[in-house]
Amino acid sequence: MAGTPPQSQPPQAPRFDKKVGIVGLGRMGSNIAKRLYHSHVPIGVVYDKNEALAKEYSREFRCYHATKLAEVNANAEIVFTVVSDDEAVDSIFAENGDSLLLGAAGTTFIECSTVSPKTHKEIAYRLEQRRSRFIETAMAGSYPQAHDGTLYLICGGNKFVVYQLAPLLRVISRTQVYVGEIGRAAEVKALVNMVMNINTAALAEGLALGSALGINLDELREIFARTGAASRVLLSDGEDMQKREHTTFFSAEHARKDSAIALALGQEKGLELPLAAATKTQYDLMCDVGLGHIDKSGISELTFGPRRARYSVSGEKAVAAAPK
């Protein structure tokens, strides 16, 4: 109708002409891939050492299924890597055999794994020799945040490259913070997880002691939340500890690994970190008794008296079946 003002158009999702690849399709990698795909970011290729899993996702994303790492760079200009540990990162960027280093010239790599700073520095060096670009984006959050695009990203590397990739990073994250050159983001993430793990262990002990004293744990958690005992861990893990609901969002195995990274950094600087060391010992024990696969909140299984009684402890080792 003449004279009718034009209707406002809904904001358009950002479009990316460059194809993206995903290496590592575990909980985090697969949900990052889903977020990108449903945000209309073109997925060019996926790779996982579990070929059946990668094939399944390649069908979902209508992209190429790389059965070798060497095939990834031919089908993507930007590659996210999301794997488990230092050994896995070193393996996918190996200097010999099948590797992402093959045909890497011109490719930009976004490394999201939680590993030691020295590993990221070494991989950045290898890629620089092959005229590739590399940034580290340490992720705070778990797979629900990856799926929803609300991760908190701690970014390190060339600041200009990070700036160029910001529109893509905003698809998977609510916040992006730049902390410095390669290695700095890994350092910061190690500190984040060190403090988180200590808080988790402390909360488990506080709730266990409250239970032993006969205090109502619902009321105790509420008091904690309104006093100096408040923490994000209380919100995420407190009720789970009380009710023994340990669905895995961040496993005890990963907590142990990340505490070890922080302890190694402290040792390099000549620092004693007794709380971090004690916390790692607890996560070591969880893994020893077969609880490494459950959520870090499962550390409460080692602190609540009736639960702890399930485990026979000899020195620093324990043997028991996982809780039902």
Asked if the domains 20-182 and 187-319 are classified in one and the same CATH topology, the answer is no
How many CB atoms are located within 10 Å of the residue 306 CB?
9
The whole-number pLDDT of residue 125 equals 98
The whole-number pLDDT of residue 172 equals 97
Structure tokens at 15: 């479009």
Identify the sign of the CA torsion 87, 99, 189, 173. Answer: negative
pLDDT of 196-222, one tens digit each?
A: 999 999 999 999 999 999 999 999 999
The whole-number pLDDT of residue 168 equals 96
Instruction: Please name the amino acid found at residue 113.
Output: S
Q: How far apart are CA 272 and CA 263, in angstroms?
A: 8
Instruction: Tell me the CATH architecture of domain 187-319.
Output: Orthogonal Bundle (1.10)
150 CB-contact burial (10 Å; exposed 0-12 / middle 13-18 / buried 19+)? middle
Domain ranges of the chain: 20-182, 187-319
Residues of the chain with confidence (pLDDT) below 70: 1-16, 312-324
The whole-number pLDDT of residue 45 equals 98
pTM across the whole model: 0.89
The whole-number pLDDT of residue 314 equals 47
CATH topology of domain 20-182: Rossmann fold (3.40.50)
Cβ–Cβ < 8 Å for 172, 184: no
The whole-number pLDDT of residue 56 equals 98
Residue 257: name the closest of 294, 283, 275, 278 by CA.
283
The whole-number pLDDT of residue 309 equals 79
Residue 323: name the closest of 288, 291, 283, 292 by CA.
291
**Dmax (CA) of the chain:** 86
Residue 183: name the closest of 125, 130, 231 by CA.
125
The whole-number pLDDT of residue 298 equals 97
Residue 185: φ, ψ to 5°: -65, -40
pLDDT of 247-278, one tens digit each?
A: 999 999 999 999 999 999 999 999 999 999 99
Q: How far apart are CA 313 and CA 320, in angstroms?
A: 9
